[in-house]
Structure 1
Amino acid sequence: MAVELRWCHSLSEASFPAVDYEALRQRVAGSTPFNHLGWLRAAAHALGPRQELAVLLGHADGELRLCLPLVRSREAFGPLRVAVVRHLGYPLSDRIALMNELPVQAAGQVLRCIRQRLPHALLQLSEVCPALADEPWLECWARDSSAFERRLGCRVPVHRISAADRQEVSGDPRYKLRRARKRIAACGAVERRVLADAANIGALLDAVSAVEDASWKGDDAVGIFSGAQRRQWMYRAFTALAAQGQVCAVLLELDGRCISYRLGLLEAGRFYDYNLAFLPEHRDLGSGRVLLEALIQWGLDEGWTWIDASRVSLDNSSHQLHERQTEFIEHWRLSCFSWRSSGVALGLVMRVWQWLKLRGLGRSLAVKTLSVRTGP
């Protein structure tokens, strides 16, 4: 099978095969809303001036079989500042499928093409599902790298929606839900489902972003709407996906004002619970658990099959879906270190750091470094 590779500078230019991309996205198992062209175009619009986008397209037998939208920038790793290439969408895309149907024989050709067009020390793909991180491809890329790392990022709890969800949940979650509902009823707040469309998406985003800005996420500038760059990305992305009927939210409103919400994306009967926040003065209501239950009931009514959590901490995760999870999905981070001097050095630093961590020295070194940096 002859493989033809070429580069495209934008996902929006006339030469980009948007129709063929969507056909490829529909064929690739595990494709998520974060692979949607609307989401990726919004991510591209939000790139900074020092971030370079290049889209690698691969055709075989006259059909689009590969699309890798890649971003190169310079990042600091301790004392090193090196060129890094990442999949477009980092760090706000929760889970990606690699849009790749090329045979494994093309793996080396693809990697060499990336290195020639986007010279780098590190090529890193984050939030990749194990079924999509094709093992033969990884073995080939590992052999062609000065160092290679495949690291588990998190185990995301997921809940399979079933008829049993019509019954009240058992155990401790039952009492937590009952207490939260009593507090919510006492204050007079009401739940509302919103299936966003082109007409109401702007008002929905204004309402939920105002709640996030007032929450601890806004205070710590870690929210999805924090800063002009992220806000622009989210507004563009959710507007594009709302036009496809893929944006859903459950709101808790008091006197017509949103005080808490869960916002997510729907793809092929799978709901991705992407973001939530609440006003600090209503933190004691326990609204998050109630709104999660509201999503499950909405899923029952609409025939959804799964509800997935957003990214969670690998250890000691407090996501409320853990109480209802039936399975979990692993997210992996793939790191390919090049043979350039910066790539070899960065790979060596990574291996030394892992060696220190295994022996319990990494944490003590990090604490000492922090004390030096924050000292008088």
Structure 2
Amino acid sequence: MNERLEWQTSLCSASFPAAAYEALCKRSAQSTPFNSLAWLRAAEQALQHGCTLHVLLLWQGDRLIGCLPLVRCPLRLLGMTVHEVRHLGHPLSDRIGLLVEVTNPYLLERALKAIRRRMPHARLQLNELPAIAAHQDLLGHWAMQSWQSEARTSCRVPEHRLSEEDRQEATGDTRYELRRARKRTQACGAIVERITPDGTTIAQCLQTLEAVEAASWKGDNGVGIFSPGPHRDWIIRALTSLAAEGHVRVVQLSLEGRCISYRLGLLDRGRLYDYNIAFLPEFASLGSGRLLLDEWFRWGLDEGWNYIDASRVSLHQSNHQLHERMTGQVEHLRWSFYSRRPSGVALGLAYRLWLLVKPALRAWRNRHATTRVGRSAVKQPSC
């Protein structure tokens, strides 16, 4: 059957085959909410100056068998500017699936050559891809066509498969922490609420969540999803569209009608992605995070969800509370492909050098920190 490649410059244009793309998402087992048009269109509208979107479509006759929305951006390195290509949605997309149903290696090679011709770059980097065979088969061909490549673990996300056993009380330290949280919330009169915002209620819901996050440490440090910056409008647009499609869930702790803590999640095909959490600092002692996570479990059992998923965590020293009750993990990989262009070779060599220097630098920092702690522990002589 005839296979062809097509380029588009926008996901929002009338010429983009939205229906075919949504059908591809439904067929793809690795598709996530971060692959949805609602999310990606919001990401496109928030593109930074100097970044350009190029959407590669792979067709088999009239059937869409692949879509790669890629962004070409300038990258400053040692006083030089090179170009990097990423999947649309970085860095707020917690997990993406490559929507490519291709078994013909020749078509994959054609796709990579087309990307390099249209979007000259030093490095093509795809973040937060699950470590699954479907991605390995696709990207393994690209690795062989690159000057240098790497598949590096970016995080290991805890997940919990829901079962009837979750209706029973948790065990161990988790049970103790939950009991304490319930006693404290009951003592102050706070209540747990479930919210399923839709297209008419999502605006007020987001204002409430934004106010809580702004007062939290995330707001103070400017690292929240609603913090002022280029990504804020992206988040609001995306969540508004996803709520209209029925994908947004919120559990919150309310006191006298005021939200004091919340967890925000995205529900897709029976999997709840626990995307964001915030609480008012004056109520930190309640232990609301663990209590609201338990509410995800109860809500999921009531509605027949399959998984509660941490969405994304830090690779090292993650303190996500789902670790206490996880039944499995999802490994995320960061795939990097360095081109054979001079800029790609230079960037690849610089990265190799960094890998050699990094362990020594970390060891020096650890020694320096230990020395500093030791000096501070020495008592100063009295006069």
Relative to the length of structure 2, the TM-score reads 0.92
CA distances 1:60-84 after superposition (whole Å, capped 9, x unpaired):
1321111111111112345543211
Distance 2:221 2:133 in 1: 34
State the match for 2:210 in structure 1: 209
Distance 2:227 2:342 in 1: 36
Distance 2:266 2:133 in 1: 20
Structure 1 segments unaligned to the other structure (5+ residues): 369-376
CA distances 1:132-175 after superposition (whole Å, capped 9, x unpaired):
65323222211211110100011100001110011000111000
Distance 1:5 1:96 in 2: 22
How is 1:1-12 mapped onto 2 (pairs within 5 angstroms)?
1-12=1-12
CA contact (8 A) 2:212 2:280 kept: yes
CA contact (8 A) 1:60 1:102 kept: no
Distance 1:347 1:366 in 2: 25
State the Cα distance separating 1:367 from its structure 2 match: 9.0
State the match for 1:192 in structure 2: 193
State the match for 1:372 in structure 2: none
CA distances 1:240-279 after superposition (whole Å, capped 9, x unpaired):
1111111000011111111100001000111000000001
Distance 2:336 2:25 in 1: 24
Q: Does 1:315 align with 2:316?
A: yes
Distance 1:159 1:261 in 2: 20
Q: Does 1:37 align with 2:45?
A: no
Distance 1:55 1:192 in 2: 41
State the match for 1:122 in structure 2: 123
State the match for 1:82 in structure 2: 82
What SS does the corresponding residue of 1:229 show, helix, strand or coil?
Answer: coil
- Taking a change above 3 Å as real, the CA distance of residues 215 and 78 of structure 1, as seen in their structure-2 partners, is farther
CA contact (8 A) 1:180 1:290 kept: yes
State the match for 1:371 in structure 2: none
State the match for 2:360 in structure 1: 361
State the match for 1:46 in structure 2: 46
CA distances 1:180-234 after superposition (whole Å, capped 9, x unpaired):
1111111111111001101110111100111111111111111111224222111
- Taking a change above 3 Å as real, the CA distance of residues 364 and 172 of structure 1, as seen in their structure-2 partners, is closer
How is 1:150-189 mapped onto 2 (pairs within 5 angstroms)?
150-189=151-190
Q: Does 1:334 align with 2:343?
A: no
CA contact (8 A) 1:84 1:122 kept: yes
State the match for 1:72 in structure 2: 72
Q: Does 1:16 align with 2:16?
A: yes
RMSD: 1.6
CA contact (8 A) 1:161 1:306 kept: yes
Higher Rg: 2
Distance 2:221 2:79 in 1: 26
What SS does the corresponding residue of 2:231 show, helix, strand or coil?
Answer: helix
- Taking a change above 3 Å as real, the CA distance of residues 122 and 133 of structure 1, as seen in their structure-2 partners, is farther
How is 1:47-62 mapped onto 2 (pairs within 5 angstroms)?
47-62=47-62
State the match for 1:257 in structure 2: 258
CA distances 1:59-114 after superposition (whole Å, capped 9, x unpaired):
11321111111111112345543211100000000100101012233111111111
CA contact (8 A) 2:218 2:224 kept: yes
Query: Aligned residues, how many?
Result: 366
How is 1:103-142 mapped onto 2 (pairs within 5 angstroms)?
103=103, 104-131=105-132, 134-142=135-143
What SS does the corresponding residue of 1:127 show, helix, strand or coil?
Answer: strand
State the Cα distance separating 1:366 from its structure 2 match: 7.7
State the Cα distance separating 1:305 from its structure 2 match: 0.7
Give, as a single letter, the amino acid of the residue that structure 1 aligns with 2:120.
P
- Taking a change above 3 Å as real, the CA distance of residues 79 and 151 of structure 1, as seen in their structure-2 partners, is farther
State the match for 1:374 in structure 2: none
Structure 2 segments unaligned to the other structure (5+ residues): 368-383
- Deviating more after overlay: 128-137 vs 337-346: 128-137
CA contact (8 A) 1:38 1:237 kept: yes
State the match for 1:143 in structure 2: 144
- Deviating more after overlay: 57-66 vs 152-161: 57-66
State the match for 2:295 in structure 1: 294
What SS does the corresponding residue of 1:169 show, helix, strand or coil?
Answer: coil
Distance 2:107 2:366 in 1: 45
What SS does the corresponding residue of 1:339 show, helix, strand or coil?
Answer: coil
CA contact (8 A) 1:202 1:239 kept: yes
Q: Does 1:98 align with 2:98?
A: yes
- Taking a change above 3 Å as real, the CA distance of residues 133 and 334 of structure 1, as seen in their structure-2 partners, is farther
State the match for 2:225 in structure 1: 224
Distance 1:212 1:133 in 2: 37
- Deviating more after overlay: 169-178 vs 138-147: 138-147
CA contact (8 A) 2:263 2:289 kept: yes
State the Cα distance separating 1:362 from its structure 2 match: 3.5
- Taking a change above 3 Å as real, the CA distance of residues 314 and 133 of structure 1, as seen in their structure-2 partners, is farther
Relative to the length of structure 1, the TM-score reads 0.94
